[in-house]
Amino acid sequence: MLQTRCVDIQLSMVILEVRDLAASIEFYRSLGLDVPDPPAERPLVIHRMPSGVSLLLTTSFASVYDANYSRPASGYQQMLEFFVGTDDAVDDMWAKATAAGYHGRMSPAKTIGPYAAMVDDPDGNVILLTSDEAGSPAS
């Protein structure tokens, strides 16, 4: 049997294949992320968060490198959780996102876990906004 050295595996990046890069950048900036402008020669942006995890938005990675790639027709396959600090911050971000026209999936509420709200980004990815200390980069 082949012996391998065990390494600590860590999530380093979340990659979202988006339809409209500008619309996605606007959405994530509205959440407070300092998402840069894309380089002229590449259809992507990368934002590294204080936790060390990066968010990469692109219009052409999976669709270029995976011949079997197809966008989901409905529903969602993942949820991105953003720790926003307090219950009031969850309420404020929910209000701003829905007032800006983003689809609100779940209004702010105490769940069986954190106080949370859910809103869709422009591609239908579900964004969970929480005040759950377990999601804090300082945890």
Q: What DSSP element (H or E) covers 123?
A: none
Q: What is the pLDDT of residues 30-79, one digit of tens each?
A: 999 999 999 888 889 999 999 899 999 998 888 788 888 888 777 777 88
CA dihedral 115, 121, 124, 129 (to 10 degrees): -10
pLDDT at 3 over 60: no
Question: What does the pLDDT read at residue 79?
Answer: 85
Q: Hey, which bits of 8-130 come out as E strands?
A: 13-17, 44-48, 54-58, 79-83, 104-110, 115-120, 126-130
Return the higher-pLDDT residue of 94 and 8: 94
* CATH code for the domain in which residue 20 is found: 3.10.180.10
Using CA atoms, how far apart are residues 45 and 18, in angstroms rounded to an integer?
11
Question: What does the pLDDT read at residue 44?
Answer: 92
Q: What is the pLDDT of residues 19-29, one digit of tens each?
A: 899 999 999 99
Domain that holds residue 21: 13-67+76-135
Taking residue 108's Cβ as centre, other Cβ atoms within 10 Å add up to 21
Using CA atoms, how far apart are residues 123 and 104, in angstroms rounded to an integer?
13
Question: What does the pLDDT read at residue 6?
Answer: 58
Domain count, the chain: 1
Question: What does the pLDDT read at residue 38?
Answer: 93
CA 106 to chain centre: 16
Is 30 contained in some domain?
yes
Is 5 contained in some domain?
no
Is 37 contained in some domain?
yes
3 state DSSP class of 48: strand
pLDDT at 136 over 80: no
Structural tokens at position 46 = 């990368």
Return the higher-pLDDT residue of 81 and 137: 81
Question: What does the pLDDT read at residue 113?
Answer: 82
Average pLDDT value for the chain? 87
Is 110 contained in some domain?
yes
31-34-35 Cα angle (round to 5) = 95
Share of the chain above pLDDT 70, in %: 88
